Amino acid sequence: DLKAASRIGDDVTSVTNGTDLWRNYAQIVASMPLYSATELDRKQKNEYDLRGDTAKRVATFVTAISSRNHAIRELALYQSLESRAAVRVQSGVTGADEQVAFLKEVASTQDSLIKAEADIMESRLALSSLCSKESYEPINNYLKTLAAVPGADR
């Protein structure tokens, strides 16, 4: 959007650097966008990258919750099998190897559970950190509610 104008005046205006503006001059006024095309492209790319990063963090959060819930069910299974094996060992039906094997599975599953809980916390904090200061606390509390163990007292 270009506009041109000319003006003829009778007075001479003295400028501080010693030059004079004579009575005949032309002016061109251009209307330019606030951002250049390159800056707009960069802004769009940054927004696209932020949305992609947010999607990855949400996926990590959901995966961690799923892994934690799976580990809880698996832990309950192995604990019951270990208890059953303990009764079988006391009865003399089987050797202690069976109980030891289930104890190893219980320990391994507890490690998986701890890792999943850490992943939940990490991804929850990462998602919350993407928010503004005003929405950080409500979003963090909402994510805590989502991450709660099903059936547990909140």
Nearest to 79, CA basis, from 35, 110, 116, 48: 110
Q: Give residue 103's identity as a one-letter amino acid code.
A: L
Strands 2-8 and 24-30 come out as antiparallel
User: Is it the case that residue 121 has pLDDT exceeding 90?
Assistant: yes
Report the predicted TM-score, pTM, of the whole model to 2 decimal places: 0.67
- Per-residue pLDDT, 40: 76
| pLDDT grade for 42, boundaries at 50, 70 and 90 | confident
Burial of 120 (0-12, 13-18, 19+ CB in 10 A): buried
Please spell the DSSP secondary structure of 26-55, one letter per residue: EEEEE---SS-HHHHHHHHHHHHHHHHHHH
Least confident range of 18-22, 64-68, 149-153 = 18-22
- Per-residue pLDDT, 7: 54
